[in-house]
Structure formats: C-alpha cells, structure tokens
Amino acid sequence: MGIHNQPKRDLLSLFDLRDEEFTVLFQRATTLKRKLERHEPVHSLDGRTLAMLFEKSSTRTRVSFEAGMFQLGGKALFLSSRDIQLGRGEGVKDSARVLSRYVDGIMVRTFDHANVEIMAEYASVPVINGLTDTLHPCQVLADIFTFEEKRGSLKGKRVAWVGDGNNMANTWIQAAVRYGFHLTLACPLGYEPDGDILSAARKELAEREVDASLTLVRDPRQGVDRAHLVTTDVWTSMGQEGESDTRKAVFAAYQVDSGLMAAADAEALFMHCLPAHRGEEVTAAVLEGSQSVVWDEAENRLHVQKAILEFLMLGGVPAEA
C-alpha cells in the first residue's frame, strides 16, 4: 500500500483537475449510477481501503464516501480526531506518512485548508478534500453533474450564488473558470469570497479562451437575473456559531424565496449543499418546490465520489463499459 505505478494524484481543489477530466468523471459517475440502479456489482476497488479523517461532523460526506467504497468492493475507515493520535498532538505530516503504509487513499474533512495540503504533501497515497473552510470540491462536482442530468451542459450557462462568500462560493469560482460558465456572486459587504482565490481565478480567466465570467454584486435580485441555476448555503457555517445573530441580520435580504427565484430563468434549478435552515437562507416553499433538486444533488455525491475514488486510486477510470 502507498506504492503506485503512476504519479500520485490528489483532489484538494478543482484546479487539480484538467479540463477534460471533468467530463471523464461525469461519464464514469453516470455509468456507476446506472449500474447501482440495476444492482450490477462493481469490484473496481476490491481490497482497497480509504481512511476518512473527520474534524468536522458530517452526514452526506461520511455516508457517501463510506457507502461508495463498500459498493466498489473496498473498505472505508471512519477516524474522528477523538479516535486517533492526530487529535492528541501527532503532527499531520507524521499521520500522513503512517496512514500511507496502511491504506490506499485518505479523505480529510477539516477546518484549516492547510491541513489537507500538508497531508497531500507527505502522504504517498491520494488525498481527497472532503471539505475545508476554504474549498468543497466534491460537492460542486456533484452539483454540476446534477445540473447536467436535468438540463444538459452547464458550459456557457449562468449560475447565481446568493449569500456568504464561503467555501462553496470559493469552489464555484474555481469551477466557473475551469469548466466554463458565467458566475455571479451576490454577497453582502464584508462577506465576499476569498480574495486570493478570486484573484487566481480572474488571472486564469484572462489567460484562457473559455465562455465564462466572474461577477460580484451586492443585490441578490441582480445576482439571479436570468440565471439557469441558483444556489446558496447556510448563513452560519460550523465554527461560526458565535456570529449567528450578526449574520442573520446581515444576510436577511439574501434569503432565496419564490420572489427571488422569479427573477431567474423560468427553467432555473435551485440547489443547496445541505443541511438547510428553512426560513433563513431559503424558504420551505423553494426548498420543497418544483425547481429544487437538492435531494438528487445530495444523492449524486455518492456517484461522483465513487468516480473520484476510482480515478485517484486506479490512476484513471476503469476501461469497462
């Protein structure tokens, strides 16, 4: 374990994927989803093991990765910071090197993005960012996949982000310039996306011939104007609980309700990475409405992540149909 014939690949951000690899992953995710629906067994990761390190609690990330490894014939190990020496002072570097001797891949869900970068630097097996305070690549890949299941290619379309400039907003920025679509982010003053990520994305956008753009606005109605996809997240993320009251006041005008959705394209979809706080960032009418695809979006974490696991652990997707 930890010994591979091809160079190790990690997925820490969407900039770790080449343009054509988005399509490769989505095609494989479609195949895996159809096989699961037909109860066709897949044994691509027989005998392989994934270590899942959790500093942040999770429903979708834990269950989708754990179930995904099982469905591919492998095994996933849930490791919270309370269960291993990493939570008692062992350095990330040392944990990375030790775990690489036992497992075939490491998924990390943590606060500080630097921790996944260090883990990837010192691990000899693939490292997957299951979420940090900076980026959430697996979720946005599943979101793009979901849109394309429902509406066809997202390339060149208009996507609206409404609310906090958090890890999801940062990842949508990377997706816009790497995959190619028009992203408008409606965020209140002082709650914009990460400046370094925005600068890097704009620099790449200027250097590439791609049908894409990045626009930052304050008015949520302007942000969703004619959008094909409207997406949002909670106003208060894990670790920000002490700011909850302040954030509710700041973001009150950024609630996605039926009136706001009416400003989007008539066929627009609504997405939310969940968990959702009905009555805060989104109304129950929108979350449960006909334009919402949040449950399909959540399910597709499983299928896309299975494709990611194969892609990284096997050095590419299997040749089988």
Q: pLDDT by residue for the chain (321 residues), tens digit each? A: 444 456 899 999 999 999 999 999 999 999 999 999 999 999 999 999 999 999 988 999 999 999 999 999 999 999 987 777 665 667 899 999 999 999 999 999 999 999 999 999 999 999 999 999 999 999 999 999 999 999 999 999 999 999 999 999 999 999 999 999 999 999 999 999 999 999 999 999 999 888 999 999 999 999 999 999 999 999 988 777 888 899 999 999 999 999 999 999 999 999 999 999 999 999 999 999 999 999 999 999 999 999 999 999 999 999 865
Q: Establish whether 139 is an annotated binding residue.
A: yes
- 3-class DSSP state of 198: helix
The one-letter code for the residue type at 279 is: G
Give the C-alpha separation, 195 to 216, whole Å.
12
| Structure letter (DSSP) for residue 210 | -
| Catalytic-residue membership of 221 | no
CB 207 within 8 A of CB 177: no
* Residue 87: predicted pLDDT: 56
- Domain 10-135+299-314 classified CATH 3.40.50.1370? yes
CATH for 139-293, among 3.30.70.1170, 3.40.50.920, 3.40.50.150, 3.40.50.1370?
3.40.50.1370
Phi/psi region, residue 180 (left: phi>0; alpha: psi -120 to 50; beta: rest), is left
Going from N- to C-terminal start, the domains of the chain cover 10-135+299-314, 139-293
Residue of 113, 136, 158, 182 with catalytic role: 136
Helix axes 113-122, 92-100, angle to 10 degrees: 40
Domains 10-135+299-314 and 139-293 share a fold: yes
The response to whether 138 counts as a known ligand-binding position is: yes
What pTM did the predictor assign? 0.95
Residue 59 annotated as binding? yes
- pLDDT of res. 1: 46
C-alpha distance from residue 54 to each of 20, 84, 211 (Å): 30, 10, 37
Q: What is the C-alpha end-to-end distance of the chain, expressed in Å? A: 27
Would you state the pLDDT for residue 2? Answer: 44
Pick the catalytic residue from 10, 133, 233, 265.
233
**Element counts in the chain: helices (H) and strands (E):** 12, 9
Cβ contact 125:149 at 8 Å: no
247 annotated ligand-binding residue: no
Per-residue confidence (pLDDT) for residue 298, from 0 to 100: 98
Q: Find the catalytic residue in 109, 158, 272, 303.
A: 109
The full length of the chain comes to: 321
One-letter identity of residue 278: R
Please confirm, yes or no, whether 222 is among the known catalytic residues.
no
One-letter amino acid of 265:
D
Sheet architecture: strand order including 213-217: 213-217, 182-186, 158-162, 229-232, 269-272
User: Among the options 139, 174, 255, 291, which is catalytic?
Assistant: 139
The answer to the question of whether 137 is labelled as a binding residue is yes
187 catalytic per annotation: no
Instruction: Examine the residue annotation and report whether 4 is marked as an active-site residue of this protein.
Output: no
274 is in an annotated binding site: yes
129 is in an annotated binding site: no
pLDDT for position 242: 84
